[in-house]
Amino acid sequence: MKKYDAIVVGAGIAGCSSAYFLKKKGLKVLVIDRSGVAASGGSAAAGAFVSPKIGQGSELQKLTNEAFEFSKNFYLQNFPKHFTQTGVIRIPKDAEDAKKFKEYEAYNEAKWELLSYDELDALGIDSSYESFLFSEAGVCDAPKMCESILEEIEYEQYELKSLIYEDGCWFVGDYCAQNLILATGYENNYFDMRYMGVKGTWGSRGDYETKVELDVSMHKQISVSANIDGIVKLGATHEKDVDVCIKCTGEPLKKLFSVASTMVDTSDFKLKETFCGMRSGSKDYFPLVGEVIDTTYMLENYPKIVKGAKAELQKIESLYICNGLGGRGFVFGPMMGKILADKIVDNKEIDKRVNPDRLFLKWCRKSPDLESYR
């Protein structure tokens, strides 16, 4: 029986980041994943853009932009080989969207500039609208980044089928650890975590070989990366709230390619590889980082919570989650991993914006799943 301080289940960017910061704090960490490092889920299909969020200053935008600054610096300082600061241009979808961009300008916290039609044309981009360029943004090589983050951390490809907690230790097959971290994306089959409302959003990406000179990445409905080593990535989210990833063929990419062709010259694009995966998101689109509430215990011992009564929340011992990063996994991952490590090792309070506790009582009051309790 191999013993660890922490076992992380899931080797996407959420799990890798959590493991990295736990290791930095001196813990002996094991990461397990049934498929491989960044081999399934959102991280497998990610275009892995690292860019700010535009908008009118919502709390989610503020958090995203804090995470952008954190992740940008994290990648540059620790893994610069796998993060390319191409810059990312946000292009309005239509005339109505272009009007909104004027309102967004005051809330652009990251370094930015406004590009005119002529400036976009000089970059090889076709657009009738002024667009935002975030010059410090860029693109990660998703699998290589995750592999590098785990370089000094033990990893095993292993399919988790059962969990046992006994005598202060989580038993996972032939391994045991004091702490267990679930970074399993849209799949949560081990505990009752319905209150978190994790849903999968299916997305696909195509990598295209091309000689087109494209030095900057962009987003307008879909993401189009810069030409990095002869490859341009086209990617987008497709269908929300699905239970399984739709089989990937070339078909989902036809629409992506069609949209991309209105933005850049795709005449010599040759499809090299297709990827698909499920991104996980929460009910309110904020990440989920922290402890897990013992839902069964709460419903059995405090049945009135379904009618609005409050009660002290009972947590499952030494069980944590890092999940719900949505389509911005490589933006949120490092900061969320650091927040979780600070909690586990230093007992630092979790940021209220990402603490899953925020969702529990509302779920108890409103979920149709609990109608029988009312």
At 369 the pLDDT is 87
Gap between the Cα atoms of 73 and 65, Å rounded: 12
54: in domain = no
Last residue of a domain, one of 255, 277, 299: 277
Structure tokens at 309: 């009564």
Distance CA 19, CA 42 (A): 18
Quickly count: other Cβ atoms within 10 Å of residue 361's Cβ. Answer: 19
Tell me which of 244, 277, 310 is where a domain ends.
277
Residues 213 and 253 reside in one and the same domain:
yes
Query: Mutual orientation of helices 13-24 and 329-346 as an angle, nearest 10°?
Result: 40
> What CATH code is carried by the domain that includes residue 184?
3.50.50.60
Helix or strand or coil: residue 153?
coil
Total number of domains constituting the chain: 2
Mean pLDDT of the chain: 92
Reading the chain (374 residues) residue by residue, the pLDDT tens digits are 899 999 999 999 999 999 999 999 999 999 999 988 988 788 888 889 999 999 999 999 999 999 999 999 999 999 999 999 999 999 999 999 999 999 999 999 999 999 999 999 999 999 999 999 999 999 999 999 999 999 999 999 998 888 999 999 999 988 999 999 999 988 878 899 999 999 888 888 999 999 999 999 999 989 999 999 999 999 987 655 444 445 555 555 788 899 999 999 999 999 998 888 888 999 899 999 999 999 999 999 999 999 999 999 999 999 999 999 999 999 999 999 999 999 999 999 999 999 999 999 999 999 998 987 76
Residues 219 and 344 placed together within one structural domain of the fold: no
Q: Quick one: 228 and 347 in the same domain?
A: no
Write a three-state SS string for 275-328.
Answer: EEEEEEECCCCCCEEEEEECHHHHHHHCHHHHHCCCCCCCEEEEEEEEECEHHH
Residue 1: what pLDDT?
Answer: 83
Does an H or E element contain 71, and which? helix 59-78
Please report whether residue 346 resides in a domain: yes
Beta-sheet strands, E only, within 151-287: 154-157, 164-166, 169-172, 175-182, 199-209, 217-220, 222-224, 231-240, 270-281
- 264's CB contacts (< 8 A; 6+ apart) are 124, 125, 126, 212, 214, 218, 224, 232
Q: Are residues 185 and 303 in the same domain?
A: yes
CB-CB contact of 299 with 360 (8 Å): no
Alpha carbon distance 336, 332 (integer Å) = 6
C-alpha 224/C-alpha 25 separation (Å) is 37
Is residue 348 domain-shared with residue 238, that is, in the same domain? no
Q: Is residue 76 part of a domain?
A: no
Question: How far, in Å, CA of 340 to CA of 355, rounded?
Answer: 10
Dihedral angle of Cα 69, 80, 90, 268, to the nearest 10 degrees: -170
Domain co-membership, 218 together with 367: no
Look at residue 69 and tell me if it is in a domain: no
Confirm whether 8 is domain-assigned.
yes
345 and 251 assigned to the same domain: no
The confidence score (pLDDT) of residue 346 equals: 98
* Residue 123 maps to a domain: no
Closest-CA residue to 225 (of 201, 207, 211, 250): 207
> CB-hemisphere CA count at 13 Å for 362?
8
206 shares its domain with 337: no
pLDDT at 29: 98
Burial 206-226 (b: 16+ CB within 10 A, else e): bbbebeeebebbbbbebbbbb
Provide the CATH number for the domain around residue 206: 3.30.70
180 shares its domain with 252? no
Verify that 170 and 217 share a domain, yes or no.
no
What is the span of the domain harbouring residue 309?
Answer: 2-42+144-198+283-373
Does residue 338 share a domain with residue 314?
yes
- Residues 209-254 pLDDT 10s: 999 999 999 999 899 999 999 999 999 876 554 444 455 555 557 8
345 domain-assigned: yes
Q: How far apart are CA 187 and CA 138, in angstroms?
A: 29
Domain final residue pick, 253, 277, 301: 277
Let me know whether 291 and 183 are in one domain: yes
Decide if 80 is inside a domain: no
